[in-house]
Amino acid sequence: MSHGSHGLELEENKALTLPSAGGVLGWVARSLAHINRAILGVSMLALLAAGAILTTSVFLRYFLHLPTDWQDEAAVFLLVGATFLCGAYVQQQRGHVGIESLAGLLPPWANRLRQMFCDAASCLFCSFFAWKSWLLFSEAWLEGQTTSSAWAPPLWIPYGMMAAGMTLLVLQLLLQTCVHFVPTKEQA
């Protein structure tokens, strides 16, 4: 597939991703885009913090021979949050790994059906994942579960970030699924 046709396909995907400025779907799309963008900024800071924590830990352990018992879990918590909370932003950009070769082989109407099916199936799967994540969060919160380390931070923190991130991803996928059923200007 040439670079030009790939760029055209990305533009077509963005048109499906972002409904027109009017209506409820447009308002939801803009609101979700603002939330996703804010989370992206916070997640960038979380990645920087995780890198700084791990670098400091290596320096303290190997050069100064000072033990650290909290750095690995703190970095993992930050990475879990950044990973799950940015899922909706990546989906908004249609940046997840996809099978592009199929899109190039199918006629436009079949590709739209394929994309609609993928969005709906992904939404269903992620809805189940989000529900289970909220159950894990609730269980960890109510039972006061902690990690097994000496630091013992509460497990509701990563479970909460996972559940919130999956919920945002479900909202993004639901929006993208609904957009398939909204007539475009060309169809009207």
Q: Return the residue matching tokens 């923190």.
A: 157
Average pLDDT over residues 45-50: 98
| 184 inside domain | no
Q: Which burial class, exposed, middle or buried, applies to 183 when counting CB atoms under 10 A from its CB (0-12, 13-18, 19+)?
A: exposed
| 33 inside domain | yes
Question: pTM for the complete prediction?
Answer: 0.83
| 131 inside domain | yes
pLDDT for 30 = 94
| 187 inside domain | no
| 16 inside domain | yes
Sign of the four-CA dihedral 126, 131, 136, 140 = positive
Q: What is the pLDDT of residues 124-148, one digit of tens each?
A: 999 999 999 999 999 999 999 999 9
Does residue 11 surpass a pLDDT of 50?
A: no
How crowded is residue 148: how many other Cβ atoms within 10 Å of its Cβ? 6
| Percent of the chain whose pLDDT exceeds 90 | 67
Instruction: HSE, CB side, 13 Å, CA atoms: give it for residue 111.
Output: 16
Q: What is the distance between the alpha carbons of residues 85 and 89, in angstroms, rounded to a whole number? A: 8
| 54 inside domain | yes
Mean pLDDT computed over every residue of the chain:
86
Q: How many domains does the chain have?
A: 1
C-alpha closest to that of 92 among 31, 38, 17, 37: 17
| 152 inside domain | yes
Parent domain of 48: 3-95+103-179
Q: What is the pLDDT of residues 107-122, one digit of tens each?
A: 989 988 999 999 999 9
- The DSSP annotation for 106-174 comes to S-HHHHHHHHHHHHHHHHHHHHHHHHHHHHHHHHHHHHT-B-SSSS--BTHHHHHHHHHHHHHHHHHHH
Does residue 20 surpass a pLDDT of 70?
A: no
| 165 inside domain | yes
Q: What is the distance between the alpha carbons of residues 76 and 80, in angstroms, rounded to a whole number? A: 6
